[in-house]
Amino acid sequence: MSIRAYALVDYRLPDYGDQPAVVSRLAPSLPNARAVGEYWRLADPDYPVDTAEGWTARLVHNPPEDDFLRYHGPGGFSIAFGERVARVSGICRWSGFVTIRRLQQVHATAFRSIARALGGTRIVLIPEYDPVNDIGLYGNGSLGECIDLLQQRWGAPHPTTDIVTDDVEVYYRRQSPVWYVETLSHDG
């Protein structure tokens, strides 16, 4: 199983279902999202060509939950919205995100750019497949509630968004995953 990197964001959009408005708000994130596609093209010759030029919206049928919109963009990113939290899905594996400096830099920059475009004030970087994802996306949980639950489960977040080791085997011996919380600035 491949566990991907996710970001949870406390977005500020009047209506995430207003597709033209959301796509327009996401436009400033395009260069950083495209940089992720370029990173993978150079790092992995077998990487499938990323043909996404911009952000697009697709209705996802997700029984038994309601259908919901998911936005897809360059670099393999997608965004799903809950009532209070947006989940940004990245293409990289979480183990790579926490152990490979250049991979983390290019992806974290794109995650931040997307979060800022959505009006977020904080971002939580975590591995997928944690129940906190569902609480934020489907359970109407706030980002603060998600952070509290993560602290109960895994302890305090890593103090800075940086790699924790360059040895993936050392990372896998950890008792719990590394996770990060950042406050976003909106200066330029």
Structural domain harbouring 13: 4-183
pLDDT at residue 1, rounded to an integer: 42
91 found inside a domain: yes
pLDDT at residue 28, rounded to an integer: 97
188 found inside a domain: no
Residue 66's pLDDT band (cuts 50, 70, 90): low
44 found inside a domain: yes
62 found inside a domain: yes
166 found inside a domain: yes
Quick check: 130 pLDDT over 80?
Answer: no
Find the Cα–Cα–Cα–Cα dihedral 145, 180, 83, 121, rounded to 10°.
100
Q: How many domains does the chain have?
A: 1
Q: Does residue 117 contact residue 54 with C-beta atoms inside 8 Å?
A: no
65 found inside a domain: yes
